[in-house]
Structure 1
Amino acid sequence: MGGNGFLLAWRFVVLLQLISGVLGWGKEGHYATCKIAEELLTEDAKAVVKHLLPDYAGGDLASLCSWPDEIRFHYHWSAALHYVDTPDFKCNYEYCRDCHDSSGHKDMCVTGAIYNYTRQLEAVGDSYAITNYNLTEALLFLSHFVGDVHQPLHVGFTGDLGGNTVIVHWYRRKTNLHHVWDNMIIDSALKTFYQSDLSQMIQAIQRNITDGWSNDVPSWGDCASNKTVCPDPYASESIKLACKYAYRNATPGSTLTDGYFLSRLPIVEKRLAQAGVRLAAILNRVFASPKQTARE
């Protein structure tokens, strides 16, 4: 179970929510990613995930997948781990060049965090690791960051902070481009196509995983050279999608309506699907039983 640090941080978040109504952005997207992943876990992985989650989660990983957003103001060091900025207009990602925080500290970015928390979780069962790592937090951070790296503007340009300083209108509402991709495309889809029911949207994505994308899905969870985790290709995908879809026709001051929404929604839904499939693949590899690992 999670340690005292996790419980104190969670109580702090709940208190702030009661006071000010603060909610983590991207909550629906992270919930969808983790719910898709949960359905694809092996029995071994499900057992370990349930063991690591706090009792009040009821074994539901998705219910806590937005926790890393909600504690960023408490765990200040974690803010840089939600994204990786890339050079303006280059439309590519390189770990050694890009994975650092604003002070230049290496490995402080979303891909670096995915590597780090995967390594921590690989030590499940090691008494030394359990003493030195909070494995509950590691599970939640990893699950959240796999979702983040699939959001194209979490691998956006340095100059506009991943679209955060690109002010646009989403229909009649003034916002920024990053928020459009974090929240507003999903919110509009829920209202337009899914009767404001997130479970309907998740089920539609799951059907596409089984049918629409079935030829591609088996390769989504693969890692080169039999690695446990490989977030760098995911980041490369995201910046290419950011250039091709997120930034295109979304200059400062523009108004984004049906044309932008309907052409970008399939990209958002596919990225949620890929994130869920890949998160499940990572957790299945990390938590594979010794017997299963030997067979492979």
Structure 2
Amino acid sequence: MKFNFVKKLALAVAVIYAPLQSMAWGTNGHRISGQIAENHLTPKALAAVKAILGTESIAMASNWADFIKSDPAYNYLYNWHFVDFERPMSYPEMTEYLNHDTEPNAYNKLEFLIAELKKPSTTKENKLLYLRMLIHITEDIHQPMHTAHASDKGGNDFKVNWFSKPTNLHSIWDTELINFQELSYTEYVKAIDHPTTAQIKAWQAAPVSKWVFESATLAEQFYTEIKPGDTLNYKYNFTHIDILNEQLLKGGIRLAGLLNEIFG
């Protein structure tokens, strides 16, 4: 009995701390966008999502794809979280590249998930997997460093400091900026979930390729503003908080648009 308790405790600790080693919006970032999405679902779409997720909210489901990274059985999902590029591209160039790249990435796997969730023949088990992944990947695409340089692993090898803490550019956008606001995910949602009708319409009308292009453009901006070894602190937060909040909001609004299209 004691041994089983220890094993269960170790598993619980692993689940709690797994996101800290992930390459995605941090736990709070995903939950913020997930709750925003749930706030903007049609009643029909919400009912369909609940039928698949059960008691698990979209906010909670949004981190599943990071939690299971510790399970080798899901290693095949690794490349689904990002789409990196060798060089800056115009929108037509990027669209051409995305439509012809056959290697698994966030763009082509999101398109796959959308198609599979629309099929009546998709099994209940696969619907759960696909919905959890669609939620997560939609949110990941709106974290700009998930559409960044392949050469530095989306900013993971771009070393900087956050105040006195050594970190990297990817982690700045995953967790540091969000955690610096010192808000729970529900408090954060209350603070930023105020899009205009025009914003919702425009953001949801944009194709997935445009989402990727917008994020990649932001990533290029972030690269040019600083150099490796720089220390980022209060000023970086002040000059980037509006971008952060808009990306979190966009991710949630666009996720709601996808789910409303699929299930509404």
- TM-score, normalising length: structure 2: 0.87
Matches within 5 A, 1:1-296: 16-18=11-13, 22-25=17-20, 26-55=26-55, 57=56, 60-74=57-71, 75-90=74-89, 94-95=94-95, 97=97, 106-123=102-119, 126=120, 128-130=121-123, 134-190=126-182, 196-207=183-194, 209-210=195-196, 214-223=197-206, 230-244=207-221, 246-288=222-264
Where structure 1 has 5 or more consecutive residues not aligned to the other structure, the ranges are 1-11, 191-195, 224-229, 289-296
Residues 78 and 187 of structure 1, relative CA distance in 2, 3 Å threshold: same
Q: Name the CA shift for 1:99/1:108 in 2 (closer, same or farther; >3 Å).
A: farther
Give unpaired runs (5+ residues) of structure 2: 1-6, 21-25
Partners of 1:19 and 1:41 in 2: how far apart?
A: 32
The residue type equivalent to 1:18 in the other structure is V
Partner of 1:22, secondary structure, is helix
The structure whose RCO (Cα within 8 Å, separation 6+) is larger is 2
Task: Say whether the 8 Å CA contact 2:42–2:260 is kept in structure 1.
Answer: yes
Tell me the TM-score normalized by structure 1: 0.78
Distance (whole Å) between structure 2 residues aligned to residue 91 and residue 253 of structure 1: 29
Aligned to 1:193: none
- The CA distance in 2 between the partners of 1:29 and 1:149, in whole Å, is 12
Post-superposition CA distance 1:73-113 (Å, at most 9, x none): 3210101010001123557662553589xxxx814100111
The one-letter code of the counterpart of 1:231 is V
Aligned sequence identity (%): 28
Which one-letter code corresponds to 1:203 in the other structure?
A: K
Give the root-mean-square deviation of aligned CA atoms: 2.4
Deviation at 1:201, TM superposition (A): 1.4
User: 1:71: how far off?
Assistant: 1.0
Task: Provide the secondary structure at the position in 1 that maps to 2:241.
Answer: helix
Q: C-alpha distance in 2, partners of 1:163/1:46?
A: 35
Contact kept, 8 Å, 2:85 with 2:147, in 1: the verdict is yes
Q: Per the alignment, in what secondary structure is the counterpart of residue 165 of structure 1? A: coil
Quote the offset at 1:200 in angstroms.
1.9
Q: Deviations over 1:148-198 (max 9, x none)?
A: 0011110001111110000100111110110000110101122xxxxx333
Tell me, what secondary structure is at the counterpart of 1:179? helix
Contact 2:98 2:107 in 1 (8 A): no
In the superposition, relative to structure 1, how do residues 272 and 80 fare at CA in structure 2: closer, same or farther (>3 Å)? same
* Cα displacement string for residues 218-244 of structure 1 (whole angstroms, at most 9, x for unaligned residues): 211114xxxxxx311100000111112
Higher helix share: 2
Q: What secondary structure, in the 3-state scheme, does the structure 2 residue paired with 1:41 have?
A: coil
Q: What is the CA distance between 1:23 and its match in structure 2?
A: 2.7
